[in-house]
Chains A and B, each alone.
Chain A
Amino acid sequence: AQSVAQPEDQVNVAEGNPLTVKCTYSVSGNPYLFWYVQYPNRGLQFLLKYITGDNLVKGSYGFEAEFNKSQTSFHLKKPSALVSDSALYFCAVRDGGAGSYQLTFGKGTKLSVIP
């Protein structure tokens, strides 16, 4: 079975400060990891993904994520937060080793960027 944990329901950060949204995962095979963002009354918007290769993945809107195999983590980061980054962030995992299409999402982390 595969699972994702987002240990923080909410993260507050001041505008201009770096932000981190945490994600840990569990899969039996190779992890394929994804981050999505959801704005109010909108669908999920793809930010970035890790499949293989460089552990630091760069995505949309200045976001990046670092894959750490030993800690089974895939934390989302941004060097300088914007008020417009305030939204709900979802981490998701798929077991690439099993060739599975099943994408399992975490419960989400609400990011609030304070002006």
Chain B
Amino acid sequence: EAGVVQSPRYKIIEKKQPVAFWCNPISGHNTLYWYRQNLGQGPELLIRYENEEAVDDSQLPKDRFSAERLKGVDSTLKIQPAELGDSAVYLCASSPGQGASDTQYFGPGTRLTVL
């Protein structure tokens, strides 16, 4: 079974530029998560999708971050414009959607560096 796929793996941009990250979850997983992991910290949830609906985006900085999961499968996370403090690893995870006991499976992440 293929795991969660993310691209690109690395991205270096100048501040104020836009950037987008793409995620393809494990086949059949209804729930998709985007996390941000700062250096030396654990992941922090940005947004959670149930199929195509964003059911928890309370942690997403909506002034510059946006996300979509149009057909309930792939998802894109966008930052526009990027700031220096956005440098981090952005992780996508998916789970079957079976409830609170669900296990989340993570992709390899995208390491963003903002110069």
Contacts and interface: CB of A to CB of B under 8 A. Distances in A.
* A and B interact physically: yes
Interface of A: 4, 32, 34, 36, 41-46, 49, 51, 90, 92, 94-96, 98-108
Contact of A103 (B4, B40, B104): B104
Interface of B is mostly: loop
Contacts of A96: 100-101
Contacts, number: 59
Interface of B: 4, 6, 31, 40-45, 48, 56, 91, 93, 99-109, 111
7 contacts: A36-B106, A90-B42, A90-B43, A96-B101, A99-B100, A101-B31, A102-B45
Contact of A51 (B42, B43, B101): B101
B100 A101 contact: yes
A43 B103 contact: no
Contact of A107 (B40, B56, B91): B40
